[in-house]
Amino acid sequence: MAETLPFEEDVDLAERATGEPALHVDVDGFEGPLDLLLELARRQKVDLHRISILALSEQYLAFIEEAREMRLELAADYLVMAAWLAYLKSRLLLPEPPKGEEPSAGDLAAALALRLRRLEAIREAAKSLGERHQLGRDVFARGRPEPVEIRREPVWEASLYDLLTAYARQRQKRAVERVTMPHRQVWSLVEAREALQHLVGEARDWTALDAYLVRYMVAPHMRPTVLASALSATLEMAREGRLVLRQDKPFAPIWVRAHGAATAVSAES
């Protein structure tokens, strides 16, 4: 129900007075010079519309003077207001100069009176607002509201596309898993070397590599792998000094022969 609001305590003016010099208290109790002026005006006990700004100014200045004599610290805005009121007072006492640029003393006084009336009015408004029935203080809401339970009802969302994708994805994955790929036939480098060593044994003279390899390319699909592996093997064996390669021009047939019978034989052992 009513919780304690975190408001500052409304400190009573009299309460603030405790233990302090009386006049000091008075100044402290006011919320600024306008508040002080309003209080002084109230003491005139006349309608704010008929207030004498001149008399009010004199009272304010007297008050400030008194405070100074008591060596009270006054906030700057009280002094600013005092200076302005002293000026206003002198203007009000002097004969009005011919109409000039500046607002007349009467206008200034009227403006001040208006400000005072406006502050008075908003104070009244604040008072009547505070006097209204307030929730949790004067009037109460249901002490135990019955909460509305939120029931979440799932609505399933899926499209035919999702369904077909899921089906196809699943079936395809399994189908691929089950397919056994035909074993790819290759002529390995090892096989190539073996074959070439036979060749080297035979080829004391230049021998066309292609012609020699034909016997290994019985199946047509073996041709690329045999050629590739054989070339790699011959290059390797040439580097090792076992055989010599010759090609007369680009894309011409490759000729092979043993580097020398002795080396070839010794290498083989």
Partner 1 sequence: MDKRMNVVPLRAPETAEEPDHAEAMRIAEALLFAAAEPLGREELAGRLPEGADVERVLVDLRELYAGRGVNLVPVAGKWAFRTAGDLSFLLARDVVEPRRPSRAAMETLAIIAYHQPVTRAEIEEIRGVATSKGTLDTLIETGWVRLRGRRKAPGRPVTYGTTPAFLSHFGLDAIDDLPGLEELKGAGFLEGRLQGLAVPTPSDDTTLRDDEDPLDDEAFAPLDPGDGPEDAQES
Exposure pattern of 142-158 as b/e (b: 16+ CB <10 Å)?
A: eeeeeeeeeeeeeeeee
**Pairing state of beta strands 243-247 and 207-208?**
unpaired
Query: Does residue 7 touch partner 1 according to CB under 8 A?
Result: yes
Tell which positions 23-42 bind partner 1, by CB under 8 A.
30-35
Beta carbon of residue 259, minimum distance to partner 1 (angstroms, whole number): 50
Among 19, 95, 98, 147, binds partner 1 (CB under 8 A): 147
Beta carbon of residue 267, minimum distance to partner 1 (angstroms, whole number): 49
Tell which positions 160-179 bind partner 1, by CB under 8 A.
160, 162-179
Neighbours of 28 (CB within 10 A): 15
Tell which positions 74-133 bind partner 1, by CB under 8 A.
75, 77, 115, 117-119, 121-130, 132-133
Q: In degrees to the nearest 10, what's the CA dihedral of 71, 74, 76, 80?
A: -80
Among 42, 43, 137, 198, binds partner 1 (CB under 8 A): 137
Query: Does residue 250 touch partner 1 according to CB under 8 A?
Result: no
Window contacting partner 1 (CB under 8 A); options: 158-166, 181-189, 197-205, 253-261: 158-166
**CA–CA dist 162, 168 (Å, integer):** 10
What's CA 33's distance to the chain center, in Å?
47
CB 258 within 8 A of CB 200: yes
Beta carbon of residue 112, minimum distance to partner 1 (angstroms, whole number): 10
Beta carbon of residue 85, minimum distance to partner 1 (angstroms, whole number): 13
Query: Does residue 47 touch partner 1 according to CB under 8 A?
Result: no
**CA–CA dist 204, 264 (Å, integer):** 10
**Residue among 49 and 249 whose Cβ is closer to partner 1:** 49
Beta bridge partners of 246: 255
Beta carbon of residue 26, minimum distance to partner 1 (angstroms, whole number): 14
CB 37 within 8 A of CB 60: yes
